[in-house]
Amino acid sequence: MPELPEVETVRRGLVQAMEGRRIERAEVNRPDLRWPLPEGLAERLGGARVTLLRRRSKYILADLDTGESLLIHLGMSGRMLVSGVTLGRFHLDHPVPQKHDHVVLHMEGGARVTFNDARRFGAMDLVRTDREAAHWLLAGLGPEPFGNAFNEGYLVAALKARKSPIKTALLDQHLLAGLGNIYVCEVLFRAGIDPRRAASRIAAARIAALVPIIREVLSEAIEAGGSSLRDHRQADGELGYFQHAFRVYDREDAPCPACGTPIRRIAQGGRSSYFCPQCQR
């Protein structure tokens, strides 16, 4: 489901229900998601206070006052839904229990935060906060798109060594953390680059131009509350609306917004790439 903008949207949606609040009780309904859940997860969460909610790449990190952080990945179909709270005029509820509600956090004050994930490609783990950078899921991640370590020089150097298509290279989380299939397609369209082009053979100036484009696309998507395809929801159940701004993703045969040429869909690395054969070279 979620790429960086969706994860950031979910994180923001969880702040009010979780930050500064104690987890009164944690309900863990199965022993594993993608991987086994950590030993004693329910006991280690119960009674802990959430001090801060952060995001690294497509992971959400909930720092606890126990010295541990809860690491959450939503995979393809994971959701975090808040219920049992009133936000302004709206009372959020989530008729429980739903199929695939794997972990439920009962927060002090009555809010519930439910991790629901039909496909179970998602993950949860506990890590000592002061050693989180060494966690096996986080250690190999590339720079954050909005961080200082991600810049023109870095990207040009990193892509120079890549013979794979630019599409696949930008999806590699070791090279750059946070992009997924949707936003890579949209970025390459805005940059006018054919997704099949070998990364190493694209002129440095065109690679450099990707840096601000990547930030622009991600910023706009975050601003829109992410993209809601199929059943993705923000934490408050609202839908993001960036999908209405897609220029190529999921628009096979529809006219290119720039030139009218039908958008093409091809498979790369087992995923669909959408592009305009006229505008992207």
Can you say which residues are annotated as belonging to the binding site? 100, 119, 162
What is the C-alpha separation between 30 and 94, in angstroms, rounded? 20
Residue window 165-194: x/- pattern of binding to DNA, with contact defined by CB under 7 A: x--xx-x-x-----xxxx------------
Catalytic residues: 2-3, 58, 271
CB of 190 to DNA, least distance (A): 17
What is the C-alpha separation between 221 and 225, in angstroms, rounded? 6
Q: What is the Cα gyration radius of the chain?
A: 20
Q: Give the ranges where the chain is alpha helix by DSSP (H).
A: 4-18, 41-45, 152-160, 166-171, 181-191, 204-223
Residue window 42-81: x/- pattern of binding to DNA, with contact defined by CB under 7 A: ---------------xx--------------x-xxx----
CB of 277 to DNA, least distance (A): 18
Told to check if 2 binds DNA by CB under 7 A, we report yes
H/E stretch holding 106 reads strand 101-107
Told to check if 119 binds DNA by CB under 7 A, we report yes
Q: Which is nearer to DNA, 106 or 233 (CB)?
A: 233
Amino acid at site 236: D
Which member of 102, 232, 247, 264 binds DNA (CB under 7 A)?
Answer: 232
CB 57 within 8 A of CB 145: no
CB of 60 to DNA, least distance (A): 12
Amino acid at site 50: V
Q: Which is nearer to DNA, 107 or 166 (CB)?
A: 166
CB of 272 to DNA, least distance (A): 3
Q: Which is nearer to DNA, 69 or 168 (CB)?
A: 168
What is the C-alpha separation between 27 and 47, in angstroms, rounded? 12
What is the C-alpha separation between 103 and 116, in angstroms, rounded? 7
Which member of 31, 88, 89, 163 binds DNA (CB under 7 A)?
Answer: 163
CB 62 within 8 A of CB 72: yes
Note the residue count of the chain.
281
What is the C-alpha separation between 83 and 208, in angstroms, rounded? 44
Told to check if 84 binds DNA by CB under 7 A, we report no
Q: In the structure encoding, which two tokens stand for residue 91, read together?
A: 């009372």
Which member of 22, 34, 44, 49 binds DNA (CB under 7 A)?
Answer: 34
Told to check if 209 binds DNA by CB under 7 A, we report no
Binding site for DNA (CB under 7 A): 1-3, 6, 34, 57-58, 73, 75-77, 99-100, 118-121, 137, 140, 161-165, 168-169, 171, 173, 179-182, 199, 226-232, 240, 269-272
